Amino acid sequence: MAVTRATAQQSIVRDALQAHDGFRSAQDVFADLRAAGHRIGLSTVYRHLQSFAAQGIADVIHDGDGEATYRYCGESHVGEHHHHLVCRHCGRAEEVEGGPVERWAAQTARRFGYVELDHTVELFGVCGNCRSYLPS
């Protein structure tokens, strides 16, 4: 399942992800690459995005429509846990520390007797940049 060999397709998928600082869907990435004239298959894009996510070098969130979106988060902090503040207008995302949330989650789980805790925390808003473009 994990892609291990260094191939041209792996590179261009990684590059396409890195080229944006927001979350992008597999379909988006595929469309971009094709538009840029690259020969690549949709299956391959899915494979690599999922592989990146599994390795921890990309983060995944599911948008409201259930479409999975990916964001390149660098090899640097693999394994570190963080959350995102995502602009619902331009897709740009900030990495944020979740200290207080982690503590609250652990506490809550303990109170109810739950173990093997995991959680999803995503913040959505409109960034300062997009605010000016938007009405009201």
Partner DNA sequence: CGCTTACTGGGAATGATTCTCATGAGCGAT
Partner DNA sequence: ATCGCTCATGAGAATCATTCCCAGTAAGCG
Find all residues with CB under 8 Å of 50, minimum gap 6, and list them: 1
* Token pair in block for residue 111: 């109170």
| CA proximity to 26, closest of 55, 50, 2, 6 | 50
Nearest approach, Cβ of 37 to its own copies (angstroms)?
Answer: 31
Please, which of residues 38-57 interact with DNA by CB under 7 A? Answer: 39-44, 46-48, 50
86 φ, ψ to 5°?
Answer: -110, 135
Assess 58 for contact with its own copies (CB under 8 A).
no
Residue 81, binding choice from DNA, its own copies, none, Cβ under 5 to 8 Å by partner class? none
Q: Which residues bind its own copies (CB under 8 A)?
A: 62, 66-68, 85, 87-88, 94, 96, 98, 100-101, 103-105, 108-109, 112-128, 131
